[in-house]
A and B are shown apart, each in its own frame.
Chain A
Amino acid sequence: MKLYEKTAHELHDMLVAKKISAVELTNNLLARIDEKESDIGAYLEITRENALATAEKVDAKIARGEEIAPLEGIPCAIKDNICTKGVKTTCASKILENFVPPYDATVMEKLNAQNLVMLGKANLDEFAMGGSTENSAYHPTKNPWDINRVPGGSSGGSAAAVASGEAIFALGSDTGGSIRQPASFCGVVGLKPTYGRVSRYGLVAFASSLDQIGPITRDVRDCAMVLNAICGNDKMDSTSTAAPVPDFTESLVTYVKNLKIGLPKEYFVSGMDKEIEDAVIEATDVFEKLGAKIVEISLPHTEYAIATYYLIAPAEAATNLERYDGVSYGARVDGVDVVDMMTNTRTEKFGEEVKRRIMIGNYALSAGYYDAYYLKALKVRTLIQNDFTEAFKNVDLVLTGEMVNDPLKMYLQDICTVPTNLAGLPGISIPCGFTREYLPIGVQLIGKPLDEATILRAAYTYEQNQNSGNKIAQ
């Protein structure tokens, strides 16, 4: 049986009904990995023994007649910038080649409490910097729908694993679109929660004011289930919000009557692919038929979002990556004195893209340029956030396209995803069909702060009312 094609909630029901065992399920996924991994390259490391040992624990629990949690025994992939105690966490960088975290990220603690069956650590662009997963220091990941294409990034390993049946769900991280864009390229669901919803403790920092961990899944129900498992205030992350966390599965109702959906005119930029534009229009038609109201809105500072992001993200990255100095962990390359050792270590072990961003960041933060670049970007960030605040006075959510998987238009991708991070808003990418070349297309729903519930409800309604085709690439 092709268990690897099923969703987490279907498999949970099968486990509870004792139609399958957790070990059988894990073996099914491991066999799929053996079959596909040489083509796809979704993983940096496969944790076979750990996965089977946990699956055995789950089976023992079921045999004792105990209740199991929704994700218990469901095999998944974890992006390799999330710290896993005792399991190498490399960030796809040579500088962390041998780093074995002595602690678990908070999301891992939460998931391990549900007997998480982690199949392995998923590939990414080095330190999550990039949008194609070609930028891994180890190997690129391929798009399961067409292995001559990229899977998007930086959570490309996570999205490709879910799309190819090499994992049932995955965790990714999103700083400027790194969950939603690969989800869109791979035809799966990806959600970036509101900034602060999910603890960043143990997520290797890229840009701390933008980073969020989130789920990549086959359907919206799974997405809500994973979100339930990872959200919540955490004493180890003082930027995590104390706002109450609802049960997100309660949002899974097909009801969008009178829901006001805003279409920002600035996102229909020139150069946007006609097929994407058509897909967005089709999606809005589905919503309209179900009673939602489509309203054109304006987010006037959209055109400045990428420039703002190109300053803020590298500035924060340059600061965060100062810790890789060859002293307390990570690689070390010797030198004549301590500064020489640090310089040699960083020069040899960081990849080109990472070094480029460190240079940009330190330039923007350096004396004489701080006000002109970094401070300016922080002020424009306020304007971008204000745009959304204004828009949300009139609409319940915002709908945008996701860009097509075209190497020449990759830079345009960011315009759809980056503003959401700058404003700290939740965003979900859901599949809405395929191009003529049979590449997945995604549509994005952006919600008010802490209102994941509404975008999940809309996404669920949409999913239940259209057929976007296959969920798994063969």
Chain B
Amino acid sequence: MKVTEQDIKTVASLSRLKIRPEESARVIEQLDEILTYVDILKSIDTEKISPTTYALPMQNVFREDVVKPSLDRDLALSNAPLKEDGYFKVPRVLEE
């Protein structure tokens, strides 16, 4: 097994996902299966190869720094699960 219980906890926390204790073994198994499969990449020498993030050669795309009309505030808030006075409303972030 490549993946440990601790790995799963860390990754689940990074992912903001809850893994129930009874699911843990299955998740480890699934992740392990993928990681074992992708190990075939290790057999390739990529020492001198540069990574490709985008398939087409792209340079920085610049535009003039001017203000343009953007989404109306009410419209931007129209899908908010909870809102108040023109703001998104979320549960408490800091302790009292």
Contacts and interface: CB of A to CB of B under 8 A. Distances in A.
B91 A337 contact: yes
Contact of A359 (B11, B40, B56, B76): B11
A379 B46 contact: yes
Given A102-B71, A338-B91, A381-B51, A359 B79 contact: no
Interface in B37-52: 37-42, 44, 46, 49-52
Interface string A8-28: 000000000000000000000
Nearest to A98: B79
Contacts of B35: 363, 373
B55 A376 contact: no
Given A340-B91, A383-B44, A424-B56, A329 B18 contact: no
A239 B58 CA distance: 7
Interface string A59-75: 00000000000000000
B25 interface: no
Interface stretch (A132-140, A286-294, A341-349): A341-349
A102 B79 contact: yes
Contacts of B92: 337-338
Interface string A191-214: 000111000000000000100000
Interface residues of A, number: 69
B27 A382 contact: no
On chain B, which size bracket covers the interface?
35 or more
A346 B79 contact: no
A310 B14 contact: no
Contacts, number: 154
B46 A383 contact: yes
A338 B51 contact: no
B80 A449 contact: no
Nearest to B83: A328
B46 A380 contact: yes
B49 A379 contact: yes
A78 interface: no
Interface string B1-39: 001000110111011111000000001001100110111
A418 to B, nearest CB: 13
Contact of A304 (B11, B40, B56, B71): B40
Interface in A272-294: none
Contact of B63 (A235, A338, A376): A235
A307 B37 contact: yes
Contact of A376 (B27, B41, B75, B78): B41
A359 B51 contact: no
Contacts of A195: 54-56
Contact of A238 (B8, B38, B61): B61
Interface in A332-377: 332, 334-344, 346-347, 350, 355-356, 358-360, 362-363, 366, 373, 375-377
When A and B form their complex, which 7 residue pairs have the shortest distance between CB atoms, in order from nearest?
A424-B55, A378-B51, A329-B79, A332-B81, A379-B46, A238-B61, A102-B75
Given A98-B79, A307-B39, A310-B37, 19 more contacts: A238-B61, A239-B54, A308-B41, A328-B80, A332-B81, A332-B82, A341-B90, A342-B16, A347-B17, A356-B30, A359-B12, A362-B14, A363-B31, A366-B14, A373-B35, A376-B46, A379-B49, A382-B51, A424-B55
16 contacts: A196-B58, A307-B40, A326-B81, A329-B81, A330-B81, A343-B18, A346-B17, A359-B12, A363-B7, A366-B14, A378-B51, A380-B46, A383-B49, A422-B55, A424-B55, A425-B55
